[in-house]
Amino acid sequence: MKIALIGYGKMGKMIESIALDRNHEIVLVIDQANAQDLTIENLQKADVAIEFSTPQTVLQNLETAIKAKVPLIVGTTGWYGHLQEVKDNCISTGSTVMYGSNFSVGVNIFFQINQQVAKMMNKFSDQYDVGMEEIHHIHKLDSPSGTAITIAEDIIHEFDHKNEWVDVKSDDPVTNHKPEHLIIESYREGEVPGTHAVIYDSDVDRIELKHIAHGRQGFALGAVIAAEWLKDKSGFYSVKEMYDFKA
Ligand SMILES: NC(=O)c1ccc[n+]([C@@H]2O[C@H](COP(=O)([O-])OP(=O)(O)OC[C@H]3O[C@@H](n4cnc5c(N)ncnc54)[C@H](O)[C@@H]3O)[C@@H](O)[C@H]2O)c1
C-alpha cells in the first residue's frame, strides 16, 4: 500500500516505522516545513493518507485530502466541533475519511467497557458520582484529550444525571461544580503518552477504570491497521466502526 504521511512529528515518525515493517511504502511526507507540497496531485500518488498534525492545521489538510479523494485516516484531535461539516463535505464529494480520537485496540476495548459500566452505574447514580482524569505529556496542545472527550460523551449518553463535561486543569481547582457536570481533570506531566481514568466514588468505596498507554506504538499500529481497512472503502467512518468486539 502506498501511504502519504501528513504530519511528521512523534506520531508520524512512529507510523512510518510500523508501516515499513508491514511492507507498505511511504510515497509522501508532509510536515510544517513543506506544507505547500500537500497538493491534490501529490496526494493522488498514494493509496491512502494518514494525518497526525495539529488542531490548527488538520481542517485545511482534511479539505485537500477530500478534494483529492484519497482515503484519509485522521488521528489529530481538537477539531470535532467541525465534525458535521467535514462529514457533509466528505459524503457530498464521494470521498473517504476515518477519524478517531484513539486508534489503539486497548483504548477501543476500554471505550466498550466504559459504555457497559456507565449503563450499569446509571442505576446507582444516587450513591455514586462519576468523574474522570487524564494525564498527558507537556507538549500536548489540546485539553482535555480527544480520547477523554470520547469517554466523557459515552458516559453522558448513558447517564441520566450528567449533561455536560467540564475540563478542569490541574492548576485550576474544581469550582462551580454542578452535579450535572462530568468533571475531567487534565494533568500535563513530563512525557506521559496517555493515561485515562473513570472514577465512580461513593461514601463507602471507589471504583476506578484505567487505561495506561506504555508508549505511542499502540496508537500508531492502530492507525496503520485502520488505513489497511479503509483503503478500498468509501464514506465517512469512526474508528469504532472498524473494531468489532462482539463475542
Ligand atoms: N488518534 C490517536 O490515536 C492519537 C494518538 C496520539 C496523538 N494523537 C493526536 O495526533 C496529533 C499529533 O500528535 P503528535 O504527538 O505526533 O504531535 P507532534 O507535535 O509531535 O507532531 C505534529 C506535527 O505536525 C506538523 N505540522 C505542523 N503544521 C503542519 C501542516 N500544515 N501540515 C502537516 N504537518 C504539520 C508539526 O511540524 C509536527 O511535526 C495531536 O493532535 C495528538 O493529540 C492522536
User: What backbone torsions phi and psi does residue 85 show, to the nearest 5 degrees?
Assistant: -70, -35
pLDDT (mean) for 112-119: 97
Looking at the chain, the whole-number percentage of residues with pLDDT higher than 90 is 92
pLDDT tens for 156-189 read 999 999 999 999 986 676 667 789 999 999 999 9
Q: What average pLDDT does this structure show over 94-102?
A: 96
- Does residue 159 have a known ligand-binding role? no
- pLDDT (0 to 100) of residue 141: 85
pLDDT tops 90 at residue 142: no
Give kind and range of the element (H or E) at residue 218: helix 217-230
Contacts of 106 (CB under 8 A, 6+ apart): 211, 213, 218
Residues with catalytic function: 136, 140
Q: How far apart are CA 191 and CA 128, in angstroms?
A: 32
Other CB atoms within a 10 A radius of the CB of residue 246 amount to: 4
Is this model's pTM higher than 0.75 or not? yes
* 245 or 87: which leads in pLDDT: 87
User: pLDDT tens digits for 27-77?
Assistant: 999 999 999 999 999 999 999 999 999 999 999 999 999 999 999 999 999
Least confident residue range of 53-57, 96-100, 129-133, 242-246 = 242-246
Quick count: other Cβ atoms within 10 Å of Cβ 217? 14
Atom of ligand 1 nearest to the CA of 239: 1
Mean pLDDT, the chain, whole residue set: 95
pLDDT, mean of residues 203-217 = 97
Distance CA 69, CA 66 (A): 5
Q: Which domains does the chain have, with CATH numbers?
A: 2-102+217-241 (3.40.50.720), 105-212 (3.30.360.10)
Ligand 1 close to Cβ of residue 105 (< 6 A): no
| Residue whose CB lies within 8 A of the most ligand 1 atoms, among 6, 8, 11, for a mutation test | 11
At 199, the pLDDT band (50, 70, 90 cuts) reads: very high
Rounded mean pLDDT of 127-153? 95
Cβ 7 under 6 angstroms from ligand 1: yes
State the pLDDT at residue 158.
97
List the residue whose alpha carbon is closest to atom 40 of ligand 1.
76
Q: Given a cut of 70, is residue 114 above it in pLDDT?
A: yes
Q: Is 146 annotated as a binding residue?
A: yes
Output the pLDDT for position 196: 98
Query: Is the confidence at residue 212, as pLDDT, over 90?
Result: yes
Give yes or no for residue 101 CB within 6 A of ligand 1: yes
Q: Check if 57 has its Cβ closer than 6 Å to any atom of ligand 1.
A: yes
Burial class of residue 25 (count of CB atoms within 10 Å of its CB; 0-12, 13-18, 19+)? exposed
